[in-house]
Structure 1
Amino acid sequence: MAIIFDIYIECITPEEREEIRSHFEGLSFELQTGKITHWHYAPEESQGMYGCSLWSPELSRAAVRTLADAIECTEAGIRLYQHLHQGPDFYFARVAWEATLIEASYLEDFMKWEESSGDCRLTIECVFTEALYEQLGKPKYCKAFRPGYVWTGYRGEEYHPLGSNDQTQLNHLYRDYFGYPKDL
């Protein structure tokens, strides 16, 4: 089973989604590692929204298993957000592993309330319209993305040496000392 690194974009109308498709059509870029990524478009429909995702078969299909995976996917994420920044209107977007699993309608599930101040913040990285920002109660720590849009920022992809494919000696050392996990 593949785990896909993608950008998921929701639009309000099919026309907006078509403009997004046109904007991303043929997108490819060379990463600093020399790998060239080609982005494939897939339409998605859910709960009355017109979504789409774009993914590249040149990136890891098993999440972050090496430091290179983390670096390449982080750079791809930056470039995807930059391309979105220059694109047509949309409602909600997110770059992540399996980004299509979280739609705008689920954002309230990712609100964290700070008891001391009564403020709320989103716990996921995404970009969305100012109208949705207002509807969510103006979550704290959102920043301007472009006119009419805010975002929670993008911190990049995480690499964990234990359990990775490129740190076999470290994983063996851990297993030798602690006897688990067996799958390292």
Structure 2
Amino acid sequence: MVWAFSLSAECGAEQVAAEQFAQHFDGLSWVLANGQQSQCHTAVFQDIEENWWCQVCPSGISDMGIDRSDIAYQMTELGILLYQRLQSAPPFRYALVGVEVDEFRTYHELTSEATIPSFPGLVLGETVWRSLGASTLFRPFSTGYVWQPYEGEVYQPLMVSPDLKNKLSELLVLK
């Protein structure tokens, strides 16, 4: 199973908005702290509500999820770079960086939740933020946008190691 690390942004009802957003990222490249180069590739698509999304995928990153601590570090570094570039992006309604965040919430799902969702790294347009009750959990991100600050990606050995899971299971058995 492939696990995509990306920036996903919901751009509203107009395809041109998602295409302009994609152009802002497509082909952008960085040299990471480990010396590896990563280049952004974009995809534009419509969700079931017919709103347009742009997914920005950096190259050279694991597609197996976060199975080592160095992968978490690399994804976090890329996440910070994506958020830095997002600060000057064309208009969008909301966005998030992470593993498997493509189409993480439709607009209706997001705006109909009883409480504002808590996703570290979630960036909201101020209009969306106000419609959700203007939660104080959000901080200024860039002109017209607020966010819950990004916390980076996390390596969880118990999620990827059957050996460690078995050892933990043995600990949990009452003797």
TM-score higher than 0.5:
yes
Aligned equivalent of 1:139, options 127, 130, 135: 135
Q: Give the match for residue 73 of structure 1.
A: 75
Rounded Cα–Cα distance in structure 1 between residues aligned with 2:133 and 2:164: 48
Q: Give the match for residue 110 of structure 2.
A: 107
Matched, 1:124 2:124: no
Opposite residue 117 of structure 2, the aligned amino acid is: L
Residues 51-74 of structure 1 show CA distances to partners (whole Å, capped at 9, x for unaligned) of 110113411111110011100000
Once the 2 structures are TM-superposed, how far is the Cα of residue 108 of structure 1 from its aligned partner? 4.6
Once the 2 structures are TM-superposed, how far is the Cα of residue 175 of structure 1 from its aligned partner? 4.0
Once the 2 structures are TM-superposed, how far is the Cα of residue 107 of structure 1 from its aligned partner? 2.2
- Describe the SS at the equivalent of 1:7: strand
Gaps of at least 5 residues in structure 2 are none
Whether the aligned pair in 2 keeps the contact of 1:17 and 1:51 (CA below 8 Å) is yes
Once the 2 structures are TM-superposed, how far is the Cα of residue 98 of structure 1 from its aligned partner? 0.9
Rounded Cα–Cα distance in structure 2 between residues aligned with 1:68 and 1:155: 16
Whether the aligned pair in 1 keeps the contact of 2:17 and 2:90 (CA below 8 Å) is yes
Percent identity between matched residues is 28
Aligned Cα RMSD in Å?
A: 2.3
Opposite residue 4 of structure 1, the aligned amino acid is: A
Whether the aligned pair in 1 keeps the contact of 2:157 and 2:164 (CA below 8 Å) is no
- Specify whether residues 41 and 148 from structure 1 end up closer, same or farther in structure 2 by C-alpha distance, changes over 3 A only: same
TM-score (norm 2): 0.84
Opposite residue 7 of structure 2, the aligned amino acid is: I
- Describe the SS at the equivalent of 2:84: helix
Once the 2 structures are TM-superposed, how far is the Cα of residue 103 of structure 1 from its aligned partner? 2.8
Gaps of at least 5 residues in structure 1 are 113-120, 166-170
- Specify whether residues 158 and 177 from structure 1 end up closer, same or farther in structure 2 by C-alpha distance, changes over 3 A only: closer
* Bigger shift: residues 136-145 or 99-108: 99-108
Q: Give the match for residue 9 of structure 2.
A: 9
Matched, 1:49 2:51: yes
- The total of aligned residue pairs comes to 167
Matched, 1:39 2:35: no
TM-score (norm 1): 0.80
Once the 2 structures are TM-superposed, how far is the Cα of residue 172 of structure 1 from its aligned partner? 4.8
Whether the aligned pair in 1 keeps the contact of 2:22 and 2:56 (CA below 8 Å) is no
